[in-house]
Homo-oligomer: A and B are copies of this chain.
Amino acid sequence: MSTTLHDVARHAGVSIKTVSNVVNGLGRVSAATRERVLASIAQLDYRPNLSARSLRSGRTGVIGLAIPELSLAYFAQLADAVIEEAERRDLVVLIEQTRGGDRDRELELLRGPRRQLTDGLIFSPFGMTEADTGLLDIRSPLVLLGERLPEANVDRVTMRNVEAGAAATASLIRLGRERVAVIGAHLDARMGSAVLRYDGYVRALREHGLELRDELVVEVDLWHRSNGAKAMRELLARDEPFDALFAMNDELALGALRVLQEEGIDVPSDVALIGFDNVDEGGFSRPSLSTVDPGRPEIAAMAIDLLLERIGGASIDDIAPRELQSSFRIIDRESTRGA
């Protein structure tokens, strides 16, 4: 079939191991034999068999990335960042979709045989509940993205959701708006981005001496665009005036934006709007959408670095699980511009 070390060795008149050493730059090989071997390698177009290598070494050079759905812009862009950062470390990425965060599928990915294909997994959980937390206790390297499953004894990358939520809200208040609505809250939840971003919202209101009005808070289960539209209709139906809106992600914001426009409400003059996530699309909506950039490349880099340490042998017992936080940035676009 394809050329092996054996073929090269025979062709160059040396032992298999010497060829292996040349390929990997190990051991002492005289310049003369090295030349000869390299020539043979080039001539025979030898390429190492990665299956054999990983059988021997126990490493595959592949990391897994499990996300709810690649069609969601946020995750597509995240995957993009992970692939690029992985590439930089000579790793390759295998993407698994949990089909919108299906719990059973998530568990299957965590424990299934396919885990063997990868050295470790970067996992953005969604459907698993806190009761499932124990199931995360797996031998192989794992890094969680986001703040779900807070009890899990695992490395984790998050962002400063409270601070970012506060900064987003503050950016609206700084425009002179005093009735800032928010959509996407999960008031009953104890943890999660929704809770943290909402905390930030509340904090910013307080710091600027504004009143928190429950009538301006809309709960939204899934942060999809259609739900953003629904939430906005609900808010409008309450007949409670507002002049600014913090949407907990860009999808919600874009859904809300559409309804606002249908109702003839101008953004930003009537209602200033800021989203969250900095999805590409927000730069092209009309008006373009102000947002919070979560620093995806940084998130990707942190996750991979954490993973690599575990892959390198640092077990959970050796080093306690850590949580790294990416830095965010407010992006000012048309939806919060002008008076």
State the copy count for this chain: 2
Complex contact B55–A55 (CB within 8 A): yes
A54 at the binding interface (Cβ < 8 Å): yes
Complex contact B96–A114 (CB within 8 A): no
Complex contact B80–A97 (CB within 8 A): yes
Complex Cα distance, B118 from A3, in Å, reads 17
Chain B: CB-nearest residue to A56: B51
**Which residue, of A55, A69, A70, has the highest number of chain B Cβ atoms within 10 A?**
A70
Complex contact A95–B97 (CB within 8 A): no
List the 10 closest A-B pairs by CB distance, nearest first: A76-B76, A70-B80, A51-B55, A51-B54, A50-B116, A47-B113, A71-B80, A55-B55, A52-B55, A71-B77
Residues of A within 8 A of B (CB): 1-2, 47-52, 54-55, 58, 60-62, 69-71, 73, 76-77, 79-80, 83-84, 92-97, 113-117, 139, 225, 254-255, 257-258, 261-262, 280-281, 284-286
Known contacts A52-B55, A60-B117, A70-B77; 17 additional CB pairs below 8 A are A1-B58, A47-B113, A47-B116, A51-B55, A55-B55, A69-B80, A70-B70, A70-B79, A71-B280, A76-B76, A92-B96, A94-B94, A257-B286, A258-B284, A258-B286, A285-B285, A286-B286
